[in-house]
Amino acid sequence: MRTPATLAFFWISSLLFAQHNDDHKYSLPIDIPIFLSGTFGELRSSNIHAGIDIKTQGREGFPLKAVSDGYVSRIKVSTSGYGKAIYINHPDGKTSVYAHLKKFSAPIVHEVRKKQYDIQSYEVELFFEPSELPVSKNEIIGFSGNTGGSFGPHLHFELRETTTQKPINPLLSHFVIEDSVRPVIHSLIAYPISEEAIVNSAKQELQIPFQKINDSIYAADPIEAIGKIGLGIGTYDRHNNTYNKNGVYSITAKLNGTQIKALQFSKIRFSDSEYLNTLIDYPRYSRTRQRIQKLFRSPG
């Protein structure tokens, strides 16, 4: 006997519903209108994005400021990855990270050049004690750029737990981005999981047609399924006055009103990137470059 089921998706953007979770207020790291080309937790081709990418109007050289009092704990210069990057430890137990810089402020340049001459290498990494390079909130620490593994001028900004270096969603810590644009669903896929599973008389994945009712509701065509199936969703979020298709903050799936799966990107570990292929339909991504987030655990 086939039992009908109703599936509802509820999705929410960190930009639209950013909450102020702590009492420690940060300033913005750059004094230009904030538009994002990348959000926290986005599923990239080889990793989970650990920060936010702030657009810099296609230019380099904007002054960057410490978001709070603290001290420079680490500086790294590399031809790949984060390029020129600064790490600042703050008294509240968090570390702010500023990456792809064009250049550092004078005190930091002094330390970097000294190390580069000492080891005869452009690529260096330095660590500091709290008393060596203290900084004040809003102090200029460098200038935005396009160094390292960057594909255009922007500031990659992160917040981390200092003790664990676990990245935290910056948009949950007083970084409010203007956003009245709801996320968009562009694809819904059904996957047969068990050996006997069939979706609409087929044993392979099926793209489910749907219609947009309004900015909050989409209605999918009915499907017939036998056995255990899973669902995947393609979605993105935009915020005001920008065209970028960014990642969403959370996705929740409910079956007959009961939650069966929830994804939320408030905090990640760098090691989570090794599970990227289980979070998205990777074979489909390889074929079409379309990211479908799976709302089920793959067999095995």
Question: How does residue 148 score in pLDDT terms, banded at 50, 70 and 90?
Answer: very high
Average pLDDT estimate for 72-88 = 97
Residue 202 pLDDT greater than 60, yes or no: yes
Strand pairing partners for 20?
Answer: none
Q: What is the pLDDT of residue 60?
A: 98
CATH number (domain holding residue 146)? 2.70.70.10
Q: What is the pLDDT of residue 266?
A: 81
**In a domain? residue 97:** yes
Both structure tokens of 236: 């993105």
Q: For residue 23, give the amino acid letter.
A: D
Both structure tokens of 290: 């379309």
Residue 96 buriedness (CB in 10 A; 0-12 / 13-18 / 19+): buried
Same domain, 69 and 154: yes
Residue 272 pLDDT greater than 70, yes or no: no
Write out the residue range of the structural domain in which residue 207 sits: 7-14+179-294
Tell me which of 170, 193, 214 is where a domain ends. 170
Residue 20 pLDDT greater than 60, yes or no: no
Same domain, 99 and 188: no
Mapped onto helix, strand or coil, the DSSP state of residue 283 is helix
pLDDT averaged over the chain?
86
Question: How does residue 254 score in pLDDT terms, banded at 50, 70 and 90?
Answer: confident
Range from 5-19, 46-60, 235-249 carrying the lowest mean pLDDT: 5-19
Angle at 21 between CA 179 and CA 265, to 5 degrees: 65
Same domain, 187 and 278: yes
Q: For residue 176, give the amino acid letter.
A: V
Same domain, 134 and 232: no
**In a domain? residue 119:** yes
Residue 77 buriedness (CB in 10 A; 0-12 / 13-18 / 19+): buried
Same domain, 161 and 252: no
**In a domain? residue 30:** no
pTM of the model: 0.86
Tell me which of 139, 170, 201 is where a domain ends. 170
Same domain, 184 and 251: yes
Number of separate domains in the chain:
2
Q: In terms of pLDDT, which residue wins out, 48 or 228? A: 228
Same domain, 111 and 83: yes
